[in-house]
Structure 1
Amino acid sequence: MRTDDLLHRGLKMEFLSAEEGVFLLENASTAELMHVAHRLRMQQVPNDKVTWIIDRNSNTTNVCIANCKFCNFYRRPGHDEVYITTIEQYKQKIEETFAFGGEQLLLQGGHHPDLGLDYYVKLFKELKALYPQLKLHALGPPEIAHIAKLEQASHYEVLKALHESGLDSLPGAGAEILSDRVRRLISKGKCGGEEWLDVMRAAHQLNITTSSTMMFGHIETNLERMDHLVRMRAVQAEKPAHAKGFLAFIPWPFMDEDTILKKIKRARNTVTGDEYIRMIALSRIMLPNVINIQASWLTVGKQVAQLCLHAGANDFGSIMIEENVVSAAGARFRFTADGIQEAIREAGYVPQLRNQQYEYRELPKNIQQQQLDKEAMIVD
């Protein structure tokens, strides 16, 4: 294998193998990867806009029996700190989100042993009855697989019922690394890698848009990282013609603070800024059929995320009005609507507000007014 040959094939949007991806990861320079990935980005998203979104990442419950070794958020059934979010609490969160200019609730939780399909169907219907304009980007493949097991139903049946009750799109949560070797060690209680993909296949059959993710930098090998991308790409390639499938791919490094994975498996977050930029670039190169690549500023910070915009990424994610899971393991970064736009401009791009379908939105009036007020203060 030769780096130049592989990068040339990547520029032609050919599907590189996992082994070829490993070769690039271990041999290509960061500058080469960034250059090729940026050219691909400009082919697939040919403008100077970088998208972002206003939403809120709330949790249905912190009760979970999956026992993931990287999660500090969950509580086992019977713990003093367990909760299930009430409708009144949802109302407060949703109305605050609307006040901030958002229109979407990213709603996830744990594998609660007693919350089955009926619970989520009723919850989604009630939220949509109260707020018809609300977009529900909710649950994720492991939760769908968990509900399907509780109900002894298929993934398709569960997703169909949820979709009819108000589910707008399915996040790519819980992918971690799709290798079952890795999953047995870090998240044994969750669905396996192939079942994760099967849930996404069912979602695409129902024309439910989805996103895809990867949490890396713990105990996986470079080949397992690249195989993860190849398997995601294969599912996207086989989606029905009527479906959009994976709208975006979002990789982020393992956050290790106080996690069992760090204590027992001695896994450390050793991902440097350079390594993260290389993974963003390889995501663009290895996933030519996924249009949007998102930089995870929440886990890597502003400066690294800005560099990713020159390495294949075209999306900056959400301002995250609320986020509890990754933050519990050490993510400390935060953005306001003003701050995320300024960061995009500093990187040489034009910020563009979007919705979950990656359609452009106009800035809400309150944010426009805030920017006008700020500009007036600078002039004064």
Structure 2
Amino acid sequence: MSPVDRILDKALRGERIDTDECVTLFESDQVEKMGHVANEMMKKWHPDPLATFVIGRNVNYTNICDVYCRFCAFYRSPGSNEGYVLPDEVIFQKIQETVDVGGTEILMQGGTNPNLPFSYYTDLLREIKRRFPDITMHSFSPAEIWKMKEVSDGLSLEEVVRQIHEAGLDSLPGGGAEILDDRTRRKISRLKGSWRDWMDVMQTAHKVGMNTTATMVIGFGETMDERALHLERVRTAQDECLQNEYSSKGFLAFIPWTFQPDNTRMKAERVSPEQYLKTLAISRIYLDNIPNFQASWVTMGPEIGKKTLSFGCNDFGSTMIEENVVSAAGATHKVNIESILRLIREAGKIPAQRDTKYNILQVFDENNSAVTRDFIMQN
């Protein structure tokens, strides 16, 4: 039996693989074999043939940022004529449009804006929750939380996280993880903070009762050892959360994707679809304590998106209602929804809408009509 076969067999038996074995998998080109094992691992968590998605919207409330990541084409420096902070009423309008098309989740993220006081965030969240009590705010990144601490007049990290949670932040997305190793982080985002800074925010969020997600971005020139170390650090933090029996379930999902070099100050070759699928499969095999894996079909394209559902993913991610959607929100949403339903079906799965906590809200039959989960399973 080859080393790769031994490692994959070990994982299928329910035994944990270690970082050396993880590196061996990363160095292998047996992508389809790894995908098969990852799919078997996924079925242990999700035996039903469902693939979920969430109806959500990105709201980029500000593009002003003072960490100047080399790989980012979005930010504008403080003082830039192209910098903005969305008026509150514009944010409320975007949320209303999302609610109007059945959306349940708002991913509100922006730059680390040094001009916004901590009260900006807490006041905004309280007003959002007053107007939209049923919307889930899955918002901000660890870098933004650290900026909140910086402008909070001496509050501890835990107090900042606790106050922002009490104001209305429900869940913390995993943006900004990139690679959880400081060699790569210093190269691509020197001012963004160490891997430990990112993890401290996540573990504090778990402690105060928030669920989070974790991400990994490949293609920065990181080594296979660094990719394995990233996965190990996520797995260890999840172990600690579950062992401490917090009300949080820790990382509810893991989402790997690839660096997109266009319009950035970093030159790099695009990561191939095979490398992405291999990373996805290895992540599912290694992270045996995280229940959900999300496809990155927006960056990888619909055909690869379909393939993820046989490489360890059980979730197709968000509809990602576009930023420029205003009066045409319903039509655009319809296109997004129908595309996702079709792609999930073409992958041999049954589409189901979920909420941020991965609870199934409704299942769709072949006519795109919403039915109960029991109805689908019985037919």
Q: 1:232-257 CA deviation, whole Å, 9 max, x = no partner?
A: 00000000313210000000000010
Tell me the amino acid that sits aligned with residue 192 of structure 1: S
Which residue number corresponds to residue 156 of structure 1?
A: 158
Which residue number corresponds to residue 213 of structure 2?
A: 211
SS in structure 1 of the partner of residue 57 of structure 2: strand
Q: Hey, what's the Cα distance between the residues in 2 that align with 1:254 and 1:28?
A: 21
2:301 is the alignment partner of 1:296: no
Tell me the amino acid that sits aligned with residue 144 of structure 1: I
Which residue number corresponds to residue 72 of structure 1?
A: 73
Which residue number corresponds to residue 202 of structure 2?
A: 200
2:253 is the alignment partner of 1:251: no
* TM-score, length basis structure 1: 0.89
Q: Hey, what's the Cα distance between the residues in 2 that align with 1:272 and 1:314?
A: 22
Q: Structure 1 vs Structure 2: percent identity of aligned residues? A: 42
SS in structure 1 of the partner of residue 252 of structure 2: strand
Computed over aligned residues only, the root mean square deviation of the Cα atoms, in angstroms, reads: 1.8
Which residue number corresponds to residue 328 of structure 1?
A: none
* TM-score, length basis structure 2: 0.90
Q: 1:96-148 CA deviation, whole Å, 9 max, x = no partner?
A: 11122102211011111122321101110111111112211110111112222
SS in structure 1 of the partner of residue 108 of structure 2: strand
Of the structure 1 ranges 126-135 and 252-261, higher mean CA displacement relative to structure 2 is found in: 126-135
Q: Given that residues 210 and 250 in structure 2 are in contact (C-alpha distance below 8 angstroms), is that contact kept between their aligned partners in structure 1?
A: yes
Tell me the amino acid that sits aligned with residue 168 of structure 1: D
SS in structure 1 of the partner of residue 228 of structure 2: helix
SS in structure 1 of the partner of residue 212 of structure 2: strand
> Could you tell me how far 1:340 is from its partner in structure 2?
0.2
Which residue number corresponds to residue 377 of structure 1?
A: none
Tell me the amino acid that sits aligned with residue 336 of structure 1: N
Which residue number corresponds to residue 230 of structure 1?
A: 232
SS in structure 2 of the partner of residue 23 of structure 1: helix
Q: Hey, what's the Cα distance between the residues in 2 that align with 1:228 and 1:23?
A: 15
Q: Given that residues 54 and 319 in structure 2 are in contact (C-alpha distance below 8 angstroms), is that contact kept between their aligned partners in structure 1?
A: yes
Q: Hey, what's the Cα distance between the residues in 2 that align with 1:206 and 1:311?
A: 33
Structure 2: gaps of 5 or more residues: 325-333, 370-379
Which residue number corresponds to residue 314 of structure 2?
A: 314
SS in structure 1 of the partner of residue 81 of structure 2: coil
Which residue number corresponds to residue 91 of structure 1?
A: 92
Q: Given that residues 320 and 335 in structure 1 are in contact (C-alpha distance below 8 angstroms), is that contact kept between their aligned partners in structure 2?
A: no
Q: 1:156-210 CA deviation, whole Å, 9 max, x = no partner?
A: 1111000110011000010001111111111111121011111111011111000
Q: Hey, what's the Cα distance between the residues in 2 that align with 1:13 and 1:160?
A: 36
Q: Hey, what's the Cα distance between the residues in 2 that align with 1:143 and 1:20?
A: 35
Tell me the amino acid that sits aligned with residue 209 of structure 1: N
Which residue number corresponds to residue 329 of structure 2?
A: none
2:266 is the alignment partner of 1:261: yes
Q: Hey, what's the Cα distance between the residues in 2 that align with 1:230 and 1:348?
A: 32
Q: Hey, what's the Cα distance between the residues in 2 that align with 1:315 and 1:176?
A: 21
2:347 is the alignment partner of 1:338: no
Q: Hey, what's the Cα distance between the residues in 2 that align with 1:92 and 1:13?
A: 48
> Could you tell me how far 1:277 is from its partner in structure 2?
1.0
Which residue number corresponds to residue 173 of structure 1?
A: 175
Which residue number corresponds to residue 117 of structure 2?
A: 116
> Could you tell me how far 1:10 is from its partner in structure 2?
1.4
Tell me the amino acid that sits aligned with residue 283 of structure 1: S
Q: 1:297-330 CA deviation, whole Å, 9 max, x = no partner?
A: 0110111111111111110001100269xxxxxx
Structure 1: gaps of 5 or more residues: 325-333, 373-380
Q: Taking structure 1 as reference, are residues 99 and 113 closer, same or farther at Cα in structure 2, changes over 3 Å only?
A: same
Q: Given that residues 57 and 108 in structure 1 are in contact (C-alpha distance below 8 angstroms), is that contact kept between their aligned partners in structure 2?
A: yes
SS in structure 2 of the partner of residue 220 of structure 1: coil
Q: Given that residues 210 and 245 in structure 1 are in contact (C-alpha distance below 8 angstroms), is that contact kept between their aligned partners in structure 2?
A: yes
Q: 1:204-244 CA deviation, whole Å, 9 max, x = no partner?
A: 11110000001111221111111101100000000031321
Q: Hey, what's the Cα distance between the residues in 1 that align with 2:100 and 2:116?
A: 30
Q: Taking structure 1 as reference, are residues 335 and 155 closer, same or farther at Cα in structure 2, changes over 3 Å only?
A: farther
SS in structure 2 of the partner of residue 148 of structure 1: helix
Q: Taking structure 1 as reference, are residues 318 and 335 closer, same or farther at Cα in structure 2, changes over 3 Å only?
A: farther
SS in structure 1 of the partner of residue 89 of structure 2: helix
Aligned residues: 354
Q: Hey, what's the Cα distance between the residues in 2 that align with 1:184 and 1:268?
A: 20
Q: Hey, what's the Cα distance between the residues in 2 that align with 1:218 and 1:160?
A: 33
Tell me the amino acid that sits aligned with residue 320 of structure 2: M
Q: Hey, what's the Cα distance between the residues in 1 that align with 2:155 and 2:141?
A: 16
Q: Hey, what's the Cα distance between the residues in 2 that align with 1:204 and 1:277?
A: 29
Moved over 4 A (4+): none
> Could you tell me how far 1:371 is from its partner in structure 2?
4.1
> Could you tell me how far 1:43 is from its partner in structure 2?
0.7
2:148 is the alignment partner of 1:143: no
Q: Hey, what's the Cα distance between the residues in 1 that align with 2:5 and 2:33?
A: 9
SS in structure 1 of the partner of residue 361 of structure 2: coil
